[in-house]
Chains A and B, each alone.
Chain A
Amino acid sequence: MAYLRSILRSGKNAVPAVLRREFHRTLPAAVQVTVRDAIKEALDEELERDERVFLLGEEVALFEGAYKVTRGLWKKYGDKRIIDTPITEIGFTGIAVGAAMAGLRPVVEYMSFNFSMQSVDHIINSAAKTYYMSGGLQPVSIVFRGPNGAAPGVAAQHAQCFAAWYGHVPGLKVVSPWSAEDAKGLLKSAIRDDNPVVFLENEIMYSVPFEMSEESQSKDFLIPIGKAKIERKGNHVTLVSHSHVVSRCMDAAAVLAKDGIECEVINLRTIRPMDMEAIETSVMKTKHLITVEGGWPQFGVGGEILARIMEGPGFSYLNAPAVRVTGVDIPMPYAKHLEENTLPQIKDIVFSVKKTLNV
């Protein structure tokens, strides 16, 4: 079952991957890498490539990362480049932004983006707005990364999704990877980008292995920020999603395929700037659109996509109103059954698709 899942997840590499494995070819093969390790590889490669890059955050050095993402990096790069901070988010975020203003390229880790709320003033007022406010004189090259959104069993204060919050702000780029390749290629691009980038990982995805193509194993493998990826082609309905929810969409698509409904699953990869072109092209083909996200409904990512579809060329192609499937509009509860039902489940996506297609 897990094997089947990983095949589904590797998207269009599925068939060649199976063949390669079956015939044990010795070509430089694709390898299985977890999202966690992909992030670490990206950090390691960028630290090696550019002296100005350094990491700071709680427990990133000696503890090797609260979620072990930065394991081994402190041993390799030392105190100067991997810095453990005290539990003072607004302070260390300000320090990181100041260092970026003075020409370094910090990568700030938040143990959870929920804690970034303490630092929001620096992310927005000190980082996002500065390049514009200074008339182009002062760039701020910084990456803010960490787990965002739902995590199992952590309850309300540790499970909020910030994609819509940060996606709202001009001056920021906001990235939300799903697969290991996403994580690696996008993080490398984020670190090399001269703008402030908010990099929303997800704890649920850290341990999930994905097949990484040979190309993605190169040290210069970059995925452009602002381009979505079609994880699964289909003709009947477009599902647009980001982060861990893409997995749910792929699972739902597999279930629907048994009923002859072929979903096109788009992995947004970037929240801001959003790849509306990819969504519109898909909608013009399938004529049906459903956005699926883990965050709250009001003023969310889905709401923005739907508004833009209304305003753009895709609208006249729709055969049914475009709808959103989102997390429930409540603080995340603790009890397992309640928690499960707060996020979009496979059955919710299937229900929404069938309703939209009127079947």
Chain B
Amino acid sequence: VGIEAGINPTDHLITAYRIHGYTYTRGVSVKEILAELTGRKDGIAKGKGGSMHMYAKNFYGGNGIVGAQVPLGAGVALACQYQAKNEVCVTLYGDGAANQGQIFEAFNMAALWKLPCIFICENNKYGMGTSVERASASTDYYKRGDYIPGLRVDGMDVLSVREATRFAADYCRYGKGPILMELQTYRYHGHSMSDPGVSYRTRDEIQEVRGKSDPITMLKDRMISKNMASLEEIKDIDAEIRKEIEEAAQFATSDPEPPLEDLCN
């Protein structure tokens, strides 16, 4: 949400497989996202892509191979530069992907050719079940770009993320080349549906983050304490959203699956 607020809809974004939020912020309806998750014909990819492969205008997925999205994102940035429309590409990857060789290859070419690419490492402290200390010789992910300037940002604070993204986007739009941001964040659930998420960390750790640094709670408290919104207004928003999600879930479980004729279409 913070990232999206710092760029324009005409900018571009690409990420790995934890995409449902980004698919939404890039303009796809909740209905189409949930229907894709349940493999229905009215899912955003017509049921052909699934959880990991959703696309939209200026949103390039949805990539299942760890790290692959980073050179792809640099390529989108190349296209931005080539077409001279003053657009940038936000290229996201996780702490788990950060050690991939192809990311360093992408850094090299992005810096060499001054591509308008904002590389963002979402460091949620675990690559699947492996903590950052056990995977990376250096956990200063914002420094890994070496010759590419790097920012370290509190990923749990929406406003910090927005401001940092704005700064980064301006940097790129001025033609100064790529920039790197590390967002320090956390993953509450396991890696995927088959991971309970507690064999490699404690429940206490999860509870603590939820209690002290939850982004939504933090923003809500800030808005209320600064009189930017009342508790009622927030309750109303909650109720509206709940209704929208319920309708979408209903759709996603009742919409038919794609017909067999579509197999080779």
Q: Which A positions have Cβ atoms within 8 angstroms of B? A: 54, 80, 83, 85-86, 88, 90-104, 121-122, 125-126, 130, 132-138
Contact = CB atoms under 8 A, between A and B. Distances in A.
A90 B102 contact: yes
B64 to A, nearest CB: 7
Given A122-B68, A133-B53, A137-B45, A99 B79 contact: yes
A101 B105 contact: no
A89 to B, nearest CB: 8
B174 interface: no
A92 B68 contact: no
8 contacts: A86-B109, A94-B105, A98-B76, A99-B79, A134-B53, A135-B45, A135-B48, A135-B49
B163 to A, nearest CB: 27
A125 B113 CA distance: 25
B75 A98 contact: yes
A101 B112 CA distance: 21
Contacts of B74: 91, 94-95, 98
Contacts of A88: 105, 108-109
B55 A137 contact: yes
Interface residues of B, number: 42
Nearest to B47: A135
A135 B44 contact: yes
Given A133-B45, A135-B47, A94 B55 contact: no
B94 interface: no
A121 B105 CA distance: 15
Contact of A125 (B44, B68, B78): B68
B105 A102 contact: no
Given A92-B109, A98-B78, A135-B46, 4 more contacts: A97-B75, A134-B48, A137-B56, A138-B61
Contact of B65 (A86, A95, A96, A121): A121
Interface in B70-126: 70-80, 82-83, 89, 101-102, 105-106, 108-109, 112-113
B80 A102 contact: yes
A214 B263 CA distance: 43
Contacts of B72: 94-95, 97-98, 101, 122, 126
B15 interface: no
A104 B108 contact: no
Contacts of B102: 90-91, 94
Nearest to A87: B105
Contacts of A103: 79, 83
B76 A102 contact: yes
Contacts of A97: 71-72, 75
A122 B82 CA distance: 21
Contacts of A86: 105, 108-109, 112
Nearest to B100: A90
B109 A85 contact: yes
Given A86-B109, A91-B105, A125-B65, A99 B49 contact: no
Contacts of A102: 12, 60, 75-76, 79-80, 89
Contacts of B252: none
Given A90-B71, A91-B109, A125-B68, A99 B78 contact: yes
B63 interface: yes
A136 B78 CA distance: 23
Interface in B37-60: 43-49, 53-56, 60
Contacts of B169: none
B14 interface: yes
B112 A133 contact: no
B75 A94 contact: yes
Given A125-B68, A134-B53, A91 B106 contact: yes
A97 B48 CA distance: 21
A216 B148 CA distance: 48
B71 A95 contact: yes
Contacts of B48: 132-135
Contacts of A126: 63, 65, 68, 72
B109 A95 contact: yes
Contacts of A83: 113
Contacts of B46: 135-136
Contacts of A54: 82
A96 B76 CA distance: 9
A48 to B, nearest CB: 17
B68 A101 contact: no
Nearest to A96: B75
Contact of B71 (A98, A125, A135, A138): A98
A178 B48 CA distance: 37
Contacts of A135: 43-49
Contacts of A92: 71, 105, 109
A138 B44 CA distance: 12
A93 B71 CA distance: 8
Interface in B176-218: none
The 6 closest A-B pairs by CB, nearest first: A98-B75, A94-B71, A91-B105, A135-B46, A102-B79, A98-B72
Nearest to A92: B109
